[in-house]
């Protein structure tokens, strides 16, 4: 509402309600008089909301608002006052706001007051509010409980850890409440939460998984979480194994999910166990593949050279989706020793499996691989024709045209190999290619910069964190993560990119296209904030 409309509505209310005096509309006395002249609760709420939108409210209004919060008996009016105090988020409002809380409230309108007060206290952000907020975790109103959980998490309230653990694992609670409690435990960062988080990591209830929230919370806890995840990865936590068996959790869940979190943490102590998991066997081929894939991904992010040989043996995997994970892991490690296996895999019968290996060559090779690409491109039309006889897939109505299109794509990777030759060992050269790079070139440039340790390149690389191609964005995130292991680089990226990174995550919240890759972006944000 514009200020002119606010003034007009107040003028009308003065005529109909009476009691308004000819005072300065920027003064607390003017608004207090308006509130006193409004006899019905709904009218008083309208006056307060008009004040909020008037642009006049400031710290000189605090004594009047504090008094109104204390004296007002109608819940809806108290809630409106609390919202106004939240807008001001002044420390002096702490005492009157906490005094307005009623943990035993059962009436919906009274619960509305609690929620508004908790929101206001969250905006103030004063840890002295914690003792008044913890009892609200037992509120009968779920909206109030959720608000209290979020504020306690933001305040890193250690005294809330035990009740939040109880809420996170409460089978009778709504899954959304469980999730919010898990998130708060991650924000607080108290190691007491780790045993519960290890359980919620694999827990599913009513078809709802808590993995995303639990894995992120464990990442936030850092080294203490890694200490607990290592025995879980290796199947050496008897208490956890007993719980999992009683809950019907598949024993392979912990090797799989612990590997993911340990990879997020880049916990090098896990490397020997993860290498062993590359040869994990199971009667269910899908479970076998998933455990191996998670191990491969974690080893790639850790750039573990020990993984190159066993991963090279796995790239013969015919399933393109599974092969892609193994190839990506080899690319992240960055060893040319993987190229012979990738060249062989590029001759697979299935185009989509070939394509994965071809991209791996582009991301690892240099000009020495140009003859390989030329040979593969020359063979592609015949291979495509053979594919089409078997699959009859889209485009096979003109197999010759499809074969040429694929051959051109193979040759197109040559530009990346030429760049690798030109920029060998030169971070500045790769950095210059970032602004106009297509997704594959961007991935190569990001990988080279991330592995280079070039501290000054962090902010430049971070400008491509908004990349729309999710595979390329994931690679840029990983590369920035590697660079920011160096404190000087982390400082430069934080100073240059942190506000934009927060805004990006907020703007893209709920965007299904970025939901998975932005989990890694959130982890990078945590790392930058913590460094």
pLDDT at position 185: 98
For 373, phi then psi, to 5°, come to -60, -40
Q: What is residue 22's predicted lDDT score, i.e. its pLDDT?
A: 55
363, two tokens = 């991301």
Q: How many residues does the chain have?
A: 531
Tell me the C-alpha distance between 82 and 124, whole Å: 12
- Please tell me the chain's helix, strand, coil percentages from 3-state DSSP, rounded to the nearest 5: 75, 0, 25
Specify which residues 194 forms β-bridges with: none
Give start and end residues of each alpha helix (H) in 100-222: 108-124, 130-133, 142-154, 161-168, 175-188, 194-200, 211-221
Domains in the chain: boundaries: 335-422, 426-531
Residue 165 tokens, joined? 């653990």
What pTM does this model have?
0.90
pLDDT of residue 59: 96
Averaged in consecutive runs of 10 residues, what is the pLDDT profile of the chain (531 residues)? 45 46 81 93 96 94 97 96 97 97 93 97 97 96 96 98 97 95 98 97 91 97 97 94 93 94 97 97 95 98 98 96 98 97 95 96 97 96 93 92 96 96 95 95 97 93 97 98 94 95 95 96 95 75
Supply 403's token pair: 């074969």
Q: Tokens for 421?
A: 């030759």
pLDDT at 291: 96
Structure tokens belonging to residue 91? 């420390």
Give pLDDT, residue 206.
82
The CA distances from residue 404 to 380, 398, 412, in Å, are 8, 10, 12
The per-residue pLDDT for 348 is: 93
Tokens representing residue 466 in the block: 């908004």
Instruction: Give the CA distances from residue 42 to residues 17, 25, 35, 38, 108, in Å, rounded to whole numbers and listed in that order.
Output: 12, 21, 11, 9, 16
Report how far residue 410's alpha carbon sits from residue 373's, in angstroms, rounded to the nearest whole number: 6
pLDDT of residue 226: 98
Q: What per-residue confidence (pLDDT) applies to 343?
A: 97
Question: CA geometry: angle at 117 spanning 114 and 118, to 5°?
Answer: 85
Please check whether residue 187 is in contact with residue 153, taking contact to mean a CB–CB distance below 8 angstroms.
Answer: yes
């Amino acid at each position: 509402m514009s200020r002119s409309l606010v003034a007009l509505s107040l003028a009308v209310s003065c005529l109909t309600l009476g009691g308004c005096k000819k005072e300065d509309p920027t003064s607390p006395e003017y608004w207090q008089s308006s509130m006193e002249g409004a006899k019905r609760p709904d009218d008083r709420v309208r006056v307060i909301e008009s004040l909020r939108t008037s642009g006049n409210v400031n710290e000189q209004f605090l004594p009047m608002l504090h008094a109104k919060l204390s004296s007002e008996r109608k819940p809806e009016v108290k809630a409106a006052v609390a919202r106004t105090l939240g807008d001001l988020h002044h420390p002096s409002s702490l005492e009157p706001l906490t005094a307005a809380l009623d943990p035993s409230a059962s009436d919906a309108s009274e619960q509305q007051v609690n929620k508004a007060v908790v929101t206001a206290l969250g905006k103030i952000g004063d840890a002295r509010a914690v003792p008044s907020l913890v009892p609200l975790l037992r509120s009968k109103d779920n909206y109030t409980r959720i608000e209290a959980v979020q504020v306690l998490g933001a305040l890193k309230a250690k005294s809330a850890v035990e009740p939040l653990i109880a809420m996170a694992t409460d089978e009778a609670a709504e899954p959304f409440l469980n999730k919010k409690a898990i998130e708060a435990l991650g924000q607080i960062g108290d190691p007491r939460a780790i045993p519960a988080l290890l359980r919620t990591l694999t827990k599913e209830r009513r078809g709802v998984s808590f993995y995303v929230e639990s894995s992120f919370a464990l990442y936030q806890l850092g080294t203490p979480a890694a200490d607990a995840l290592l025995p879980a990865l290796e199947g050496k936590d008897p208490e956890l194994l007993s719980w999992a068996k009683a809950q019907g959790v598949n024993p392979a869940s912990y090797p799989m999910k612990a590997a993911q979190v340990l990879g997020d943490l880049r916990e090098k102590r896990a490397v020997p166990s993860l290498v062993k998991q590359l040869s994990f066997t199971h009667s269910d081929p899908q479970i076998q593949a998933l455990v191996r894939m998670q191990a491969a991904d974690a080893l790639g992010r850790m750039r573990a050279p020990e993984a190159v040989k066993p991963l090279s043996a796995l790239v013969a995997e015919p399933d393109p989706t599974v092969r892609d994970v193994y190839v990506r892991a080899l690319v992240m490690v960055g060893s040319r020793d993987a190229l012979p296996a990738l060249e062989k895999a590029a001759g697979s019968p299935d185009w989509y499996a070939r394509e994965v290996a071809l991209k791996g060559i582009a991301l690892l090779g240099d000009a020495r691989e140009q003859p390989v690409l030329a040979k593969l491109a020359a063979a592609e039309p015949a291979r495509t024709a053979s594919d089409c006889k078997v699959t009859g897939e889209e485009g096979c109505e003109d197999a010759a045209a499809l074969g040429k299109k694929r051959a051109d794509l193979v040759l197109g990777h040559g530009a990346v190999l030429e760049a690798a030759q030109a920029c060998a060992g030169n971070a500045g050269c790769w950095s210059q290619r970032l602004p106009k790079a297509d997704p594959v070139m961007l991935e190569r440039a990001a990988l080279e910069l991330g592995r280079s340790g070039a501290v000054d390149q962090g902010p430049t690389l971070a400008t491509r964190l908004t990349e729309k191609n999710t595979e390329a964005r994931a690679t840029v995130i990983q590369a920035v993560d590697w660079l920011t292991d160096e404190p000087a680089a982390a400082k430069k990226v934080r100073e240059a990119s942190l506000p934009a990174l927060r805004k990006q995550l907020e703007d893209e919240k709920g965007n299904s296209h970025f939901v998975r890759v932005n989990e890694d972006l959130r982890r990078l944000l945590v790392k930058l904030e913590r460094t």
